[in-house]
Amino acid sequence: MVENAAQRGTGGTPPARRQARPDLAEMVVPLLRTLMAAEQPVLDAHGLTMWAYAVLLHLDETPIRTQAALAEAIRADKTRIIAVLDDLENRELIRRRPDPKDRRARLLSLTAEGRRLRDTVQSAIQLGEEELLAQLPAADRDGFLRGLQVLSALAEPGASGAGRETGNARPRP
């Protein structure tokens, strides 16, 4: 069904040029490695793990009413973020208090200091990222960012057109 991009036997020149491009994952994985390597020193400098940073980022975006909802939003196991929340709470970067209307649930919110730390860290991270992006011509850079934004949204918990209960990320034609 697929016509193989590596065409063979066309006359006397078989360069056997496998595929027109590498697999996307084959390119995305090294890129992610680069990004994480650049982030790590920044996070370390502020005593944040990647999960803690993800919590700060997401709490800022959306006030969250239960830990389970937060865990799902950042695609972590609910048991996994507990130690993270403990730490952030002890450092007074987040607040975690029982919901008065249902004391089983915990209302999660950023403190002012948490917000300030998030801003600082994110600015530093994005500053480093801009150095990477500066290696691209302006047109590619813009296309890259727009494309990345669109494609990444397909995997979000409430992705377009797909029910959230299936969990497979197969787009529909």
Partner DNA sequence: TATTGTTATACTCTATAACTATA
Partner DNA sequence: TATAGTTATAGAGTATAACAATA
Among 82, 87, 135, 165, binds its own copies (CB under 8 A): 135
- How far is Cα of residue 115 from the mean position of the Cα atoms in its chain? 19
Stretch of 15-23, 31-39, 76-84, 135-143 contacting DNA, by CB under 7 A: 76-84
Closest CA to 128 of 59, 36, 26: 36
Query: In angstroms, what is the minimal distance from the CB of 93 to its own copies?
Result: 16
Among 9, 10, 13, 25, binds its own copies (CB under 8 A): 25
Integer Cα distance of 41 and 75 in angstroms:
23
Kindly give the pairing relationship between strand 102-110 and strand 94-99. Answer: antiparallel
| 136 contacts its own copies (rule: CB under 8 A) | yes
Per-residue x/- track, 82-101, DNA (CB under 7 A):
x--xx---------x-----
- Tokens encoding 9: 């036997």
- For its own copies, give the closer residue by CB, 102 or 131: 131
- Tokens encoding 6: 């590596």
CA gyration radius for the chain? 21
- E-strand ranges in the chain read 94-99, 102-110
| 44 contacts its own copies (rule: CB under 8 A) | no
Per-residue x/- track, 76-115, its own copies (CB under 8 A):
----------------------------------------
